[in-house]
């Protein structure tokens, strides 16, 4: 039986009151986490604009955390849930530590036993395009029933996992409905394939699915350019970059964070995977701890989320004076309060060749806090460009420990004096409001159904 929301989506008096969108998303409440943030913001502001929203998602999801909608309007959607067979038993074979078995962490765990190696091989070469491939078996038949019953105007799918777009493709072909395919990450060019290549057959199959999807979609929205270099010219006319952003309702207006912590507190929120190893930050902390103990005694590093165990162990072992605390995920509203009370916010981007295109939701939530950001990653990448464009902090290469150390010290000294080193460019920041970004998506949707 499909599971419905509390009530049909309510309509407001405006020019799109009669429009209905059918969304295919693996991530949805209560199985939310970071994967649901972008689509839930789109849904929120589409509802406020008068759209009816119908969602197809899973009965269960390996999202890493559960959460409830942060805005009552999100309960106005009609939600259908289909079965999925998650291969978590295979992927976690031989590992008792679940933090090492989540995808993509499975690819980067050290000291793999033979079961773990088999699981990685199976994920790369049998589970195509991703570990959620079984969802298609159940979602397509249910999706056809939903379309017959709900009579939507168009389909919107959001990836990853890429299986969502394969489901939407089948439903678009069957129904003739226009289809907008949204990509939060690359597909075959995603970072973990750089270090964990598929077999020739599997890669060829994966690329074929990618190509068919890109060419079948009526419109394509992308978080950033560079996701599909092999198809860039072919899909250019129907592709639009809509970056991640922030929800203006999440802005906490409580002034600067100076003086709100007992010591100068650096915080990180979200997942920190092996390929994001923040070498420059770790070495900088170690250097401050060794060379400037009087400063180190007044520093603290707090982590909230999921961290690679090896990185956690390394950070814990390199300092004698800097206080370190590691916590699991916390509810979003609590997280935003802690973000707003931070003295410095750490952002790390991966090391692979495609990492420079990454633009996570975290940087936008950091952005609206008004507190400085320490970014580590490709200095020619999208995240670095955004940090500089909005003037919210500094960005450094993975190996620039000296630069990171000097940056931390300069902010620490400024905080002692009550000085502010970075004032965000509000006009630049406003460009990334999901209220504005959703209007951009809405214009694409309306054009698609005309």
- Interval 265-301: pLDDT, tens: 999 998 898 888 999 999 999 999 999 999 999 999 9
Q: Is residue 30 part of a domain?
A: yes
Q: Is residue 14 part of a domain?
A: no
Please, which residues have CB within 8 angstroms of residue 320's CB and are 6 or more apart in sequence?
Answer: 289, 293, 296
Q: Is residue 13 part of a domain?
A: no
Q: Is residue 308 part of a domain?
A: yes
Give the CATH number for residue 283. Answer: 3.40.50.2000
Of 20, 164, 46, which Cα lies nearest the Cα of 443? 46
Same-domain pairing of 68 and 139: yes
Same-domain pairing of 134 and 194: yes
Same-domain pairing of 56 and 171: yes
Same-domain pairing of 48 and 181: yes
Mean pLDDT per 10-residue run, the chain (450 residues)? 39 58 95 85 96 95 72 94 79 45 56 76 88 95 98 97 97 98 92 82 95 97 91 95 92 57 93 89 95 95 92 91 92 89 94 80 90 95 93 96 97 93 93 96 95
Q: Is residue 4 part of a domain?
A: no
Question: How many domains, in total, are found in the chain?
Answer: 3
Same-domain pairing of 192 and 76: yes
What gap in Å lies between CA 123 and CA 61, rounded to an integer?
17
Same-domain pairing of 117 and 234: no
- Total length of the chain: 450
CB-count exposure of residue 384 (10 Å: 0-12, 13-18, 19+): buried
CB-count exposure of residue 39 (10 Å: 0-12, 13-18, 19+): buried
Count CB neighbours of 238 within 10 A: 17
Same-domain pairing of 252 and 238: no
Domain with 182 in it: 20-87+128-245+434-449
289, 296 Cβ separation under 8 angstroms = yes
| Sequence-ordered alpha helix ranges (H) in 228-375 | 232-235, 279-291, 293-296, 309-317, 332-340, 361-367
Of 238, 265, 216, 288, which Cα lies nearest the Cα of 369? 265
Q: Is residue 399 part of a domain?
A: yes
Same-domain pairing of 50 and 138: yes
Same-domain pairing of 441 and 426: no
Dihedral over Cα of 195, 198, 199, 201: its sign: negative
The per-residue pLDDT for range 336-382, each reduced to its tens digit, is 899 999 999 999 998 877 788 888 888 998 999 999 999 999 999 98
Residue 241, beta-bridge partner list: 222
Of 94, 142, 134, which Cα lies nearest the Cα of 116? 94
Going edge to edge, which strands form the sheet with 299-307? 323-327, 299-307, 264-272, 344-348, 373-376, 393-396
The model scores a pTM over 0.95: no
Same-domain pairing of 273 and 394: yes
Q: Is residue 39 part of a domain?
A: yes
DSSP 400-449: -HHHHHHHHHHHHHHHHHT-------HHHHHTTBHHHHHHHHHHHHHHHH
Same-domain pairing of 191 and 265: no
What gap in Å lies between CA 215 and CA 231, rounded to an integer?
9
The per-residue pLDDT for range 17-46, each reduced to its tens digit, is 579 999 999 999 998 777 888 999 999 999
What gap in Å lies between CA 99 and CA 143, rounded to an integer?
33
Same-domain pairing of 233 and 104: no
Boundary-marking domain end, from 73, 103, 126: 126
Count CB neighbours of 353 within 10 A: 11
pLDDT for position 5: 39
Q: Is residue 45 part of a domain?
A: yes
Boundary-marking domain end, from 126, 149, 183: 126
């Amino acid at each position: 039986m499909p599971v419905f929301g509390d009530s049909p989506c309510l309509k407001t008096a405006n020019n799109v009151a009669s429009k209905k969108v059918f969304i295919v998303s693996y991530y949805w409440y209560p199985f939310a986490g970071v994967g649901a943030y972008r689509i839930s913001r789109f849904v929120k502001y589409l509802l406020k604009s008068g759209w009816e929203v119908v969602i197809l998602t899973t009965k269960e999801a390996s999202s890493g955390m559960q959460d409830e909608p942060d805005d009552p309007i999100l309960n106005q959607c009609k939600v259908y849930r289909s079965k999925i067979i998650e291969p978590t038993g295979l992927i976690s074979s031989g590992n008792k530590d679940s933090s090492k078995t989540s995808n993509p962490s499975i690819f980067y765990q050290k000291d793999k036993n033979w079961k773990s190696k088999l699981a990685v091989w199976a994920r790369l070469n049998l589970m195509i395009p991703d570990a959620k491939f079984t969802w298609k078996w159940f979602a397509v038949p249910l999706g056809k029933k939903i379309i017959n019953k709900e009579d939507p105007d168009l389909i919107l799918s959001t990836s990853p996992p890429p299986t969502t777009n394969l489901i939407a493709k089948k439903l678009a072909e069957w129904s003739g409905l226009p289809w907008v395919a949204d990509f939060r990450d690359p597909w075959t060019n995603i970072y973990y394939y750089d270090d964990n290549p598929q077999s020739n057959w599997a890669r060829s199959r994966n690329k074929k699915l990618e190509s068919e999807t890109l060419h079948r979609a009526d419109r394509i929205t992308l978080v950033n350019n560079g996701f599909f270099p092999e198809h860039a010219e072919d899909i250019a006319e129907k592709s639009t970059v809509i970056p991640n952003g922030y929800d203006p309702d999440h802005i906490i207006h409580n002034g600067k964070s100076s003086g709100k912590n007992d010591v100068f507190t650096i915080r990180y929120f979200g997942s920190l995977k092996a390929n994001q190893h923040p070498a420059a930050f770790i070495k900088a902390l170690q250097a401050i701890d060794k060379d400037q103990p009087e400063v180190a005694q007044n520093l603290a590093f707090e982590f909230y989320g999921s961290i690679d165990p090896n990185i956690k162990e390394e950070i814990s072992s390199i300092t004698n004076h800097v206080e370190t605390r590691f916590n699991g995920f916390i509810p979003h509203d609590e997280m935003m309060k802690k973000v707003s009370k931070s003295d410095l916010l750490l952002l790390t981007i991966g090391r692979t060749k495609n990492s420079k295109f990454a633009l996570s939701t975290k940087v936008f939530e950091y952005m609206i806090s008004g507190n400085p950001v320490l970014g580590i990653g490709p200095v020619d990448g999208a995240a670095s460009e955004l940090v500089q464009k909005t003037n919210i902090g500094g960005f450094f290469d993975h190996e620039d420990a000296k630069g990171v150390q000097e940056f931390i010290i300069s902010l620490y000294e400024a905080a002692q004096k009550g000085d502010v080193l970075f004032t965000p460019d509000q006009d630049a920041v406003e460009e990334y409001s999901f209220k504005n970004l959703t209007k951009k998506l809405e214009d694409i949707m309306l054009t698609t159904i005309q």
